[in-house]
Structures are given as structure tokens and as C-alpha cells.
Structure 1
Amino acid sequence: MAGISLAIDIVPCLPLFYNKGIFLPFYIKLKVGINMARKKENKNKKGLVEVKREIGVDYMGGPIRKSFYGKTLKEADEKYLEYMKKNGAIQIDDRMTLERWADVWLETYKEGTVSDTTYKATYVWAVNKLKTRFGGRRMSSIRTIELQRFFKEQSAGSASSVDKIKMVTRAIFKTAFHNEVIPKNPMEDVQIPKGIEAEEKRAYNANEYRKVLNFAKEDPDGVGPFIILKTGLRRGELMALKWSDIDFLHMAVSVNQAARIQDGRCIAGPPKSKKSMRSIPVDKELIQFLSDIGRVRESIYVMGHFRDKKRPKNPDTWKQRHYDKFMERLIEKYPEIPELTPHELRHTFGSILYTSGVDIYRVSKILGHSSVDITTKIYVHTTVEDLRNGIPYENLP
């Protein structure tokens, strides 16, 4: 308990004269003080002193504390300093689950940086795959061998699916490590297996291509298919194509935007990538076709919205209400012609260019691919007959 103490010290000194010649060889010193109760060191059953020290903050800014033990308070504090020095003051949040960090990663690094379609079909889709397996697990508890097993299971899917999951998983754990959520990145040593290669996408041959073009010119819903078969535009690029993007004099089509869904509304925004922005040379047949339909169109968009003339049409709505009906009528007239998707019409255009002698570099530029490898691997479809025509059998021994 606290109390008041009084102490008297007799301090020797040089003689001091006091009261008529009397001298004292000392003086009296009074000391008054307050005695405080001494704080006891908290010891556990093993007789060790425990101290709790802050070693960092979590992702919400809250403190992360850890207990350190020693025979004395000084020893416990020395262990704390040794820990901080050894770990470089790393701020690790053992409570952070993969589900929580994946949501933080999506919101911080991806939301708003890509189109809604890409965001949902690639990033949200891959994150959900991870959540299904590791959702409630703490990030710091996930080991390399567990991720290796996870990717081994995913290899039963397509190669493109495995690539998407790999890209997202690596990014999630890499950013977690750099943001000091985990002490080590378990993805660094994971060996990613290859998935099943997708089947070669279908495309019309030259004869089918001409039949579909002629049919599209006369069909009420044939404008979109005709333009794709003549330019190789993606569906979103077609919906965002403006009349001002068409250079009738120099016979070229400029791709500057792509339609996408944002907050439930279709808008025109940046295309898939920078290389998607391009100028496509076109022929007289397309220029004449666009000139004819342009005389009766009021929208600023070639495939304009039927109500709002200044807004692009929803790509999904266009496919359901117009493209699918076009295909039904086409197959009814030509049962031998396969029913292709809008993206396969784009593949058809690339194939027609390549088999007609256009070099692979130009095909890649016209289609707006990020690299020539993509054009070669995915979009160029070589038939057995094409291969046969390239072999000089008559010159072989």
C-alpha cells in the first residue's frame, strides 16, 4: 500500500557558526517521500514472467499481440526484441481466411479494372473454385502440398480453366505475402499441371462461308453475322461499333470500344486490351452493304438499341433475340451447314484470311490478338485438305 515516509539525515560539513559563536560541524536534512507499492511480476505456474507485446497490425489496422516469457521481466522483453529482429517486424494476421482475403483482393485489384464479363467469367469464377476448397481456412495454414493436390484435381478440366485458376491463385497468394498477411508464399513451389486441350473450334469452309454471307445479306437479322464474317469483330465490339467508326472513303473499320454490362445497363467502354484497338481494312462488298443499311438507320451505333438511339445494344440480348433466330432460318434453308456461335464466325473469318494466303502476323493484327502465338494456336484452323495441298507428293521419292 502507499504511505508517507519521513527521514532525517545528519550530513557532515564544514563548521557553521550559529547563535553567538556556537558552531555545528553538521546540518540536518529532512526527506519526505511517498512510498508506492512495488508492482509484482506476473508469473505463471512454471515461474516464468509473461509480457504481451504488439508485433504488428492486421489488415483492418487492429493490433496483433503475442506473449513472451522469461525468468524475469527483462528476459521476457529481450525475447520480444529478439523475435522482432528475427522476423523483421513482419505483421502476420493468423485470423485472415482465404475467403476474406480473396474478397479483399477482388475488390482492391480487379473490380473496375476489367469488363464485367471478364470480371465474373474469369476472376470471380476462379475465386469461387478456391473458396470451395479452402474458403474457411486461415491463409497462413495453407501449405504447398495442399495447393499441389488442388491443381492436380483441376487438371481434369480444360487447359484454359487451369490457366485461369493458376493466374488468380498466384496473384492472391503473392499479394497476401507482399501485404504481410502470410510469412511465406506457398504457391512459389507449386508445379502447375496442364489441363485437357480444348477441341478445335469449328469454322465454315470457303463454300459454306459464301452461302452464309449471301443468306445474311437478305435476312432481317443478318446484319450482325455479315459484319462479323467480314471483319472478325468480337460480339461486344460489334455492339459498340458506331457509324463514325466506318471510313467509307478508305474502306476501313476502326475498333475503339466494346459493349459491356455495368450496373445492369449496357454501356460502351474500352475494348478487351490495348491491342484490341485497331483499324481493319474491309472490301467493297461490306462497304456497299453498310452504305445500303445506313440510309435507314437513325442510331449512332450500327447495331443500335431500338429505343435509345445513343446506347449500344446488349450483346446477350442481341444473340437471343436476333442471332439465334438468324441461325434457325439459316439451318432451315441449308441443313448441311453447321450452326456456329458468334465467336465461331470470328474464327471463320481468321481461317478464311489465313487459308487465302494472308500471313499470320496480319491475321493477328486484324483480329486484335495480344500475340501471334494466340492466333496460331487457337484461331487458325487447318484442315486435312489444307495440309495435303501443301505437300508436293509428285516431288517425293
Structure 2
Amino acid sequence: MSKACNDQKHTRNSNGEGSIFQRSDKRWCAQIQVDGIIRSFYGIKRSDAAKMLSLYKETLRKKPWNNNGENTKVTVEEFITWWLVNVKLIQLKPTSYDRLECTVKNQIIPRLGSYRLNELTTQIIQEKLIDDLFKRGYSFSHVKKAYLALNACCKYALLPTVRKLDYNPVSGVVLPNSWKFDSSKIRWLNRNEIRKFKKVCISKHKNGKYCYPLGYGMIFIMNTGLRLCEALALRWKDVNWKERRIDVSHNVVTAVDRNSTTKKRIQINQRYLKTRSSKRILPLNNTAYEALTKIKEFRYFGENSYILCTKNGTQNKPRNFCRTFESIIKRAGIEKCGIHALRHTFATELFRKGTDVKIVSSLLGHSSVDITYNIYIHVLQEQKVKAISKIPEIK
């Protein structure tokens, strides 16, 4: 329990019902101990924390096995669904949980859900899940996610407080080598496409207004290599005009609203990024600096407002931005591609100018240089060929 939690007086319920208290940061915290593990739920109001605690206790009452661990009839679908809601939901970021839930519901349950958990064997998992996904043409990423999800669930089932498995059947499963999968090449804009793209981005109507108010935002992203989720979370206060740099420390994601019965997707601003390396200071080249200057002329609503905002000053949605991008490339006569191509274009141009892979990796906010190398291996190989061609014959 954190020091912040200890600062406040607990309001305890009866045994096994949990406790609710206010932390020193003014948030309310509800806690309950289950199987030796303390679960915590937070809310701005006491009622918010109490509601989450109540929902959790209701889920516990629906646990698909009894407390003494003797029930052997629990199925994979029952157990992994319970594990998702009661273990992973409070551990993962919203988007990470959405991806895990998608993997479980679309890959694991349809293939293994009807089996009893204690009947799972390495052979069943290998043939019915891993090999089947591979044969059906799923990507390496999809297969690996299914493997990792089921492995984590089975490890949890091995815990002394759970005791639903005697061994982990996933431990003997073998993943196909990544080279056996078709690798999709990344898409970036070539020099001619960049020229046409920029021309359309800054085009104007006859009345002098820009055809695409977000056009300079596209140019800004292409010259900084930002992820779209990072760019949409930028505020004017993150810009250091004097030192010509921006502070990347937030992002925006779209995730399922777990507090709503409709399960609609909502936009969430996060103070944590994709990886630790994603939090970074990015220098601005001349084009990026000029793009920001242009945007500020007609889309500035104060230092705390978003840079790539709507005409009303509200935060833009990723889908709206992508639609504008799709319209621009269509008008420019560029082959259809995703907005991530702008980030790939930034990296590719750096490599073609001889920038070291470590520097490119740092600018992109990758967690390791290996990730950068694996993504841009085709570009790097091209650079190696050009470098060798410049070396005179050695005799």
C-alpha cells in the first residue's frame, strides 16, 4: 500500500467487504483483499470508487469455480474471461486491454473455449490454436499475441491461491519462425510524392482560405516523425520557440468505455506514452517550425489549447485527421496509404541523408534500436548497396 494511502483514515466495511478511504491527493480509493492479493480502485468521488468496488465484488460472486479449487468443470472460455475482467483490466492501459480482449475473443475462445481448462495439453494448444492460426494466414504478431495471452492466463491458473492447473501446457508450445510469415513492406512517400503532397496541403480556395486547414499539420507530422496519437495531444505550451523544439510527453488514444453499458469507444488523453523512450524532446527543422507558425495564425486558442485542434478549438479525433489525409493524397494522385506513411517518410529521409540508426531510433521514440532496424531494414539495405557502389575496386 502506498504512503499516500496510509495518510488517510480508512472507512472499513465488514470482513471481506473491502474498505474505502480518501488519499492525500484527494482521490478516493476502494480496496479489497482476495486470495491474498489486494485490489485497488480509484475515483474522484467516493461514490465512484464504491461503484467500482461493488462491480468487482459482483464479478467475484460469478467466479466460475468454487473457493476450495475442487471444481474441475470450468472451461477455458469461463476461466480466461474471468481472468480478463478481474486480473488484467486493472493492470493494463485501456488500449492494451482492448487488444488483449480482442485476441482472447477472436483467436483463443473460438478454438479452445469449449475445452475444460484442466484438459488442455501442449498438443491441443499447438494444433488447435498456433498451427491453425498460422495455416489460416494470420500474421506473426497475431499468433504471438494469442500465445502470450494464453500463457499468461495459464501461469495465473498455476498460482497456489487459484490451483486450476498442475502444470502450464503452453510452456511446450513452439511458435513458427517469424521468417515463415509474409512480411508487409512499409510505405513511405518518395521525393516526387512529397512534392505533390505538400502542394495540396497548402492549396487555397479562390477566396484565399486554405482547402485543408489541417494541411500544415500534415507537413508538421512529416517533418517530426510523430505518431498521430502524440501529435493530437500536443499543446502550444509544449513548444519552445526560442530553442526550436517540442516536448512530447502525452498521447491520445481511443478505447472502449468500460464504465458505460453501451461499450462505446471514447477518446482518452494519457500522461504515459507507448514506451519510456517515447517521452522525448524533438528538435524542429525549418519546415516543421514554419508549419507551426502557419497553424498558429488561424488555430490558436491559448497556450493550453491543442495545436492540431478543430476550428472551435477542441481536440481533434484521429479519424477526422485520417479522413483529411486520405482526401489530400487522393487529390495529389498518390497511391492510397495510411497516415503512418508520414512517420515512415521522416525516418526514410533521415536514413537517405546518412543519419545514424541510433539517432533515428531516438527521434522516433522507439524502445530499442533493434525495433528501428527491423522496421526499416529495406531502407538500410538500400543504403548499404549505395555505400558499396561508391567504394573503388580494391586490388
TM-score, reference length from structure 2: 0.70
1:261 and 2:254 correspond: yes
From 352, 356, 359, the counterpart of 2:353: 356
Conservation of the 8 A alpha-carbon contact between 1:126 and 1:164: no
Structure 1 residue 92: deviation in Å?
Answer: 4.9
Q: Deviations over 1:50-92 (max 9, x none)?
A: xxxxxxxx9568354xxxxxxxxxxxxxxxxxxxxxxxxxx45
Listed as ranges, the gaps of 5+ residues in structure 2 are 1-61, 204-210, 258-264
Classify 1:101/1:330 alpha carbon distance in 2 versus 1 (closer, same or farther; 3 Å): same
Aligned partner of 2:307: which letter?
V
Q: Deviations over 1:215-268 (max 9, x none)?
A: 424451413321221111112112111111111111112211111225333231
Q: How many residues of Structure 1 are paired with residues of Structure 2 in the alignment?
A: 306
From 99, 102, 110, the counterpart of 1:132: 110
Moved more, 136-145 or 211-220: 211-220
Q: Could you say which residue in structure 2 is the equivalent of 1:279?
A: 281
1:201 counterpart SS class: coil
Q: Could you say which residue in structure 2 is the equivalent of 1:251?
A: 244
1:173 and 2:154 correspond: yes
Classify 1:122/1:360 alpha carbon distance in 2 versus 1 (closer, same or farther; 3 Å): farther
Moved more, 232-241 or 211-220: 211-220
Q: Could you say which residue in structure 2 is the equivalent of 1:327?
A: 329
Conservation of the 8 A alpha-carbon contact between 1:115 and 1:260: no
Classify 1:290/1:391 alpha carbon distance in 2 versus 1 (closer, same or farther; 3 Å): same
4+ aligned runs moved over 6 Å, structure 1:
none
Q: Could you say which residue in structure 2 is the equivalent of 1:74?
A: none
- In structure 2, what is the Cα distance between the partners aligned to 1:238 and 1:295? 18
Q: Could you say which residue in structure 2 is the equivalent of 1:317?
A: 320
From 178, 185, 199, the counterpart of 2:184: 199
Aligned partner of 1:231: which letter?
T
1:147 and 2:130 correspond: no
1:125 counterpart SS class: helix
Structure 1 residue 396: deviation in Å?
Answer: 4.5
From 287, 295, 308, the counterpart of 1:303: 308
Conservation of the 8 A alpha-carbon contact between 1:351 and 1:380: no
2:247 counterpart SS class: strand
1:368 and 2:370 correspond: no
Q: Could you say which residue in structure 1 is the equivalent of 2:219?
A: 226
Q: Could you say which residue in structure 2 is the equivalent of 1:119?
A: 97
Question: Kindly, what percent of the aligned residue pairs are identical?
Answer: 26
Aligned partner of 2:269: which letter?
A
Aligned partner of 1:273: which letter?
T
- In structure 1, what is the Cα distance between the partners aligned to 2:218 and 2:295? 14
Listed as ranges, the gaps of 5+ residues in structure 1 are 1-57, 65-90, 332-336
Structure 1 residue 112: deviation in Å?
Answer: 5.5
TM-score, reference length from structure 1: 0.70
1:164 and 2:162 correspond: no
2:268 counterpart SS class: strand
Give the CA RMSD over aligned residues: 2.5
Aligned partner of 1:356: which letter?
K
Classify 1:112/1:318 alpha carbon distance in 2 versus 1 (closer, same or farther; 3 Å): farther
Structure 1 residue 132: deviation in Å?
Answer: 0.3
Please identify the structure whose Cα radius of gyration is greater.
Answer: 1
- In structure 1, what is the Cα distance between the partners aligned to 2:92 and 2:195? 36
Q: Write 1 or 2 for the structure with the bigger share of strand.
A: 1
1:344 and 2:327 correspond: no
Aligned partner of 2:248: which letter?
V
- In structure 2, what is the Cα distance between the partners aligned to 1:60 and 1:148? 25
- In structure 2, what is the Cα distance between the partners aligned to 1:361 and 1:209? 25
